[in-house]
Amino acid sequence: MRVAILGGRDGWHASRLREAFDRGGHQTRFVAWGSVEAGIVGDAERFGPEPLAAADVVAVRGMPAAAPEANPLQQVIFRMDVLGRLEATGMPVINRPRALEIAIDKYLTLAMLADAGLNVPRTYVVQEPAAARLALEALGGIGVSKPLFGSGGRGLLLVDDAATAAAAGGVGLVYLQEFIRHEGWDLRILVVGDHEFAMRRVAREGEWRTNLACGGRAEPMAVDAAVVEVARRAAGAVGARIAGIDILPTRDGPVVLEVNAVPAWRGLQSVVDADVTDAIATEVLRLGRRGG
């Protein structure tokens, strides 16, 4: 099969995926987001560059972020439009564009998880300082401020006053979530088709965020079937076949914090015996053969 890896060639994950596809005798090409193009000529819709247009399956290995000097909203919308139009032509895109759209947006993800009957943190998204103050009061005077878009724990702040929350949220939008006290660790479960892989993420000393990108460490962790089922339901709620689910065990049951539809697995691979990259490549090819 001809596989287009969309999102750039640099980095551990991209190179490992290419190695896995190459071992199977597949033709792998990298496509940078900035090179994506589309057009309508006569009654035909065309896409570029050639490795993208000629692919049998597209594996998305990076979210469609915009260049710093560009109009970010225009670029992100166009890039997601192209993925949707490619899928409409019958091109398998993994994960599906709609799953990517949901998962990139923390509020929309949370709403879909709640619709699926999963436990999620109490959350408020407001646009005025007075509303931010009321939201913080409703959360008990302390909350987690998050960017609406983002991953890896970047931009997360523990706040106890509305002014800080408003400043952290950026211009015109404040995303505030309840702070659920924990024992310094949470779970990351990677769902890959019919398989799952799990680890415990342990925060470094003095840090409440457990993200590996914030200095946390990965530890092996056996999880029971009930927690795995929660992870599967979370992935299903956003429509992702490959997803990283962050779960916080509590006395009231597992709470789903986030769903990542372009998950990293380098830390996870360090604490599990199975070849995670091979499982992901196998799932991409399987979905490609069946049409997504």
Q: Where is average pLDDT lowest: 51-55, 70-74, 193-197, 239-243?
A: 70-74
How high is the pLDDT of residue 68? 58
pLDDT surpassing 70 at residue 33: yes
Q: What is the pLDDT of residues 200-253, one digit of tens each?
A: 999 999 888 898 988 899 999 999 999 999 999 999 999 999 999 999 999 999
Give, in words, the CATH class of 182-279: alpha beta
Give, in words, the CATH class of 2-98: alpha beta
Three-state secondary structure string covering 253-288: CCEEEEEECCCCCHHHHCCCCCCHHHHHHHHHHHHH
| pTM for the predicted model, two decimal places | 0.92
pLDDT surpassing 80 at residue 129: yes
Could you check whether 2-98 and 182-279 share the same CATH topology? no
Mean pLDDT estimate for the chain? 91
Query: What proportion of the chain, given as a percentage, has pLDDT over 90?
Result: 70
How high is the pLDDT of residue 270? 96
Better pLDDT: 129 or 70: 129
Q: Which residue has the tokens 């049409």?
A: 291
Domain parsing of the chain, residue ranges: 2-98, 123-178, 182-279
pLDDT surpassing 80 at residue 266: yes
How high is the pLDDT of residue 214? 85
Residues 6+ apart with CB under 8 A from 183: none
Residue 207 burial by CB count (10 A; 0-12/13-18/19+): exposed, middle or buried?
middle
Better pLDDT: 92 or 155: 92
